[in-house]
């Protein structure tokens, strides 16, 4: 009786997904059984986490060492003013657990690095890279290629955002290092220095969740291209990207 009631509640909650031609009960259950890793709890990670949890994922591991500040509140939508001074992943977990009490959330209030990432990535079904650090993105990409885990990398600054979906199981498709060489001398563009329009970064975070849900549900995803978003002119562009023959990450041989 209890299992039957639980099944009815599950199908009712996700009934709007079940009405989609591309999603059936099996697809929704795949979403429910998925384990997601998000690196970064800022303007990208907050909306991504919110949509993933509300869509019914089973487990979320969330990595970020930072604390909530006043300047975060316009775009990091899980945090209320009373959370200022708290660790982001812990404050975010409180909000997400209210949305979906049954979800397992593993907050990691530490910096992602070469020691802790391998275990976290190998345990995940999909990885979302939501940090603002070029070296972190390169490291996550390298490990996702190594462990053959789907990766969705997003970034945003000022009015602009970009998104790339990487599936290492598709051996002919480009990884992040095919587009952005790990040897490049890149200065990380901090929001505090250059500014960022809140809905611009939120849009990219939502699109990261969009692609993650498609992956775990078994739907076709948008690999092989780089999405560029211009919030000021409301413009989406796509750049076709090819696997580099000399890529040091995904084409070593």
Judged by average pLDDT, the poorest of 35-49, 64-78, 153-167, 185-199 is 185-199
130 noted as active-site residue? no
Catalytic one of 46, 144, 178, 191: 191
Measured distance CA(77)–CA(104) in Å, rounded: 20
Local confidence band at 239 (pLDDT 50, 70, 90 cut-offs): very high
DSSP sequence for the chain:
-HHHHHHHHHHHHTHHHHTSTT--HHHHHHHHT-EEEEE--STTHHHHHHHHHHTT-SEEEEE---B--GGGTTT-TT--GGGTTSBHHHHHHHHHHHH-TT-EEEEE-S---TTTHHHHHHH-SEEEE--S-HHHHHHHHHHHHHHT--EEEEEEEBTEEEEEEE-TTSTTS--HHHHS-TTS------HHHH-B-HHHHHHHHHHHHHHHHHHHHT----BSEEEEEETTTTEEEEEE----TT-TTT---
Measured distance CA(157)–CA(134) in Å, rounded: 13
pLDDT tens-digit readout, 107-130: 999 999 999 999 999 999 999 999
The tokens for 252 are: 């070593």
Maximum Cα–Cα distance for the chain, whole Å? Answer: 61
Local confidence band at 185 (pLDDT 50, 70, 90 cut-offs): confident
Residue 66 pLDDT = 96
* pTM for the model: 0.93
Residue 18 pLDDT = 86
On average, the pLDDT of the chain sits at 92
Give the contacts of 26 (CB within 8 A, at least 6 positions apart).
Answer: none
The tokens for 249 are: 């990450």
Among candidate residues 112, 200, 136, the one with its CA nearest the CA of residue 163: 200
pLDDT tens-digit readout, 192-211: 668 999 999 999 999 999 99
Sheet architecture: strand order including 126-129: 104-108, 59-63, 35-39, 126-129, 151-157, 160-166, 225-230, 235-240
């Amino acid at each position: 009786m209890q299992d039957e009631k639980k099944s009815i509640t599950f199908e009712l909650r996700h009934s709007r997904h079940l009405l989609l031609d591309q999603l059936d009960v099996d697809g929704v259950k795949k979403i429910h059984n998925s384990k997601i890793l998000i690196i970064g709890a800022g303007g990208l990670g907050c909306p991504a986490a919110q949509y993933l949890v509300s869509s019914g994922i089973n487990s979320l591991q969330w990595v970020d060492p930072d604390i909530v500040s006043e300047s975060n509140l316009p775009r990091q939508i899980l945090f209320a003013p009373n959370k200022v001074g708290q660790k982001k992943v812990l404050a975010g977990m409180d909000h997400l657990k209210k949305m979906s009490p049954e979800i397992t959330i593993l907050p990691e209030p530490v910096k992602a690095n070469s020691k802790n990432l391998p275990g976290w990535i190998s345990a995940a079904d999909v990885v979302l890279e939501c940090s603002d650090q070029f070296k972190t993105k390169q490291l996550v990409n390298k490990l996702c290629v190594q462990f053959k885990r789907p990766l969705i990398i997003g970034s945003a600054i000022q009015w602009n955002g970009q998104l790339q979906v990487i599936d290492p199981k598709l051996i002919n498709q480009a990884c992040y290092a095919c587009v952005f060489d790990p040897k490049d001398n890149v200065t990380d563009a901090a929001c505090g220095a250059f500014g960022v329009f809140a809905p611009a970064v939120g849009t990219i975070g939502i699109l990261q969740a969009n692609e993650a849900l498609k992956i775990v549900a078994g739907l076709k995803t948008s690999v092989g291209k780089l999405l560029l978003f211009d919030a000021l002119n409301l413009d989406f562009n796509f750049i076709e990207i090819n696997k580099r023959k000399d890529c040091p990450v995904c084409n070593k041989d």
